[in-house]
Amino acid sequence: MTSDDSGLDNSAVAEAEDGERAVTTAQADTIAADDDAEGHYTPRPVVEPGTPRGSFWTRIDRPFVFGFLVTLGGLAAILLGLALTSLSTVLIYIAFALFAALGLDPAVRWLERRGASRAWSVVIVIVGFALALVLVILAIVPVVVTQIAEFVKSIPSTIQEFLHSDLYRWIQGQFGGGVSDLMGEVQKFLSDPNKLMQLGGGALQVGNAALQVGAAIATGISGALIVLVLTLYFLATLPSMKSGLLQLAPARDRKNVSRITTQITDSVGGYVMGMVVLALINAALVFVLYLVLGLPFPPLMATVAFLITMIPLVGPILFWIIGTGIALFSSPLMALIFALIYLVYMQVEAYVITPRVMNRAISIPGSLVVIGALVGGTLLGLLGALIAVPVTASILIIVKQVWIPRQNARV
């Protein structure tokens, strides 16, 4: 038999098989139709669709391949988590620098509207910011360090004065002798230098504690320099960063993405500048009140007020408790006056100052501010509490500008 004859035979066999399948299918359809006509139900033969090649279900049918891929995915997730943990300090620097750049960008654009170029505007703003930071550090840090040392030294005498005060006698009369035992343990603990050094990380020797403090100061200075350099780069390249981000979006959506990006950056920049202004007002008020009322450590408490009141909504309340508690050890009457004045100021800040200062930032419901601050503080500490509100504002903008219009377009 020749190759041509074998090819003809194969073709004939294939045609015969196709004919048989066609006849079988036709017969099945005819039988089903006849049964339907007689009122009987005859199930049609079920034809299972072929599984797409390379799909998820194909891998499930091959347990070894599926388990191997799942294991690789788990290992990749673990490695990514470890990498993010190792890079946490770098990510914190980047976040600080980015928010600082967004906060300084309104000043740069203000100079640009006055005719200065972008480069010169960035240089002027950065130099002014650096000079202000250096002046504040030189003016406040030595005083704060001195007052911290004085505060630590004055703890035993302050406790003794409190133990002989009318307020302590009233508390003891209300709660019984347990207060005396508690204050005795507190005084014993705070009077022991070794116990105080344990609070700083378990260092039992002065040399180790000094070494830790020196390393912390060096780390803080290097971190501040890194943040300053990153802020300079971010501020100088902010327009190009925005245009590069737009290139990642489809051409039909770039106009909408540009509008949303501008709203987010304006909102974050307005929020950062507004929080700095509010924190400065809080610090100035605390310094004046502590100075006028004769309370101890005005510069130290003003610095603490500036740092704590940067936390939105929760910060002023937290410092009101701290400031009143510190003043209580000096004079209960002065502490009461401070608490009342600062409480009045918090109402003025909430209803008068904040709406004027935050006019460029997006309005966020108070419940979301508290939830965002708690979540951010739990995840990232102080940094998380600081960036919680702008992140929440950005999410709200995206929801209002993207998600809600898409839902409204659905019928």
Q: What is the pLDDT along the chain (411 residues), one digit of tens a residue?
A: 444 444 444 444 444 444 444 444 444 444 444 444 445 545 555 445 554 555 555 555 677 777 778 888 889 889 888 887 788 788 888 888 888 888 888 888 888 888 888 888 888 988 888 888 787 777 777 776 776 777 777 777 777 777 767 766 777 666 665 666 666 666 565 555 555 555 444 444 444 555 565 666 677 778 778 888 888 888 888 888 888 888 888 888 888 888 888 888 888 888 888 888 899 999 999 999 999 998 888 888 888 899 888 877 778 999 999 999 888 877 888 889 999 999 999 999 888 887 777 665 666 776 777 787 788 878 777 777 777 778 888 888 888 888 888 888 886
> What 8-state DSSP symbol labels residue 371?
H
What pLDDT is recorded for position 344? Answer: 94
**Residue-level pLDDT at 245:** 82
**pLDDT, position 42:** 52
Burial class (CB in 10 A: 0-12, 13-18, 19+), 34: exposed
Q: Could you tell me the two tokens for 228?
A: 């300053």
Do residues 273 and 103 touch, judged by C-beta distance below 8 A? yes
344-388, pLDDT tens digit by residue? 999 998 888 877 776 656 667 767 777 877 888 787 777 777 777
Question: For residue 77, how many other CB atoms are within 10 A of its CB?
Answer: 10
Q: Transcribe 167-220 into DSSP letters.
A: HHHHHHHHHTTHHHHHHHHHHHHHT-HHHHHHHTTS--SHHHHHHHHHHHHHHH
| DSSP label of 361 | S
Task: Report the alpha-carbon distance of residue 236 to residue 123 in Å, rounded.
Answer: 9
Tokens representing residue 239 in the block:
């327009």
Indicate the helix (H) or strand (E) that contains 50: none
Report d(CA 78, CA 97) in Å as an integer.
Answer: 28
- Identify the pLDDT of residue 393: 80
Tokens 């020196």 locate to: 214
- pLDDT (tens digit, 9 = 90+) per residue, 262-310? 888 888 888 888 888 899 999 999 999 999 998 888 888 888 899 888 8
Q: What is the pLDDT of residue 206?
A: 45
User: With contact defined as beta carbons under 8 Å apart, do 225 and 96 qualify?
Assistant: no
The pLDDT, as a whole number, for residue 93 is 84
118: Cβ contacts below 8 Å, ≥ 6 apart: 108, 112, 236, 239
The pair of structure tokens assigned to 23 is 């006849």
State the pLDDT at residue 338.
93
How many residues does the structure list for the chain? 411
What separation in angstroms does the CA of 59 have from each of 62, 77, 84? 5, 20, 30
Answering whether pTM is above 0.75, one says no
Torsion from C-alpha of 13, 18, 21, 26, nearest 10 degrees? -130
pLDDT of 251 reads: 84
Q: Give pLDDT, residue 341.
A: 94
- pLDDT in the model for residue 274: 83
Q: Is 209 helix (H, G, I), strand (E, B) or coil?
A: helix
- Write phi, then psi, for 309 (nearest 5 degrees): -75, -5
Domain boundaries of the chain, sorted by first residue:
1-47, 48-86
Q: CA angle, corner 125, sides to 120 and 126, nearest 5?
A: 100
Tokens of 161: 């004065």
Taking the C-alpha atoms of residue 31 and residue 34, their distance in angstroms, rounded to an integer, is 5
* Tokens of residue 240, six digits: 């190009």
Place of tokens 């041509």: 4
User: What distance in Å separates the CA atoms of residue 215 and residue 176, rounded to the nearest whole number?
Assistant: 46
In the three-class reduction of DSSP (H, G, I as helix; E, B as strand; rest coil), residue 333 is classed as helix
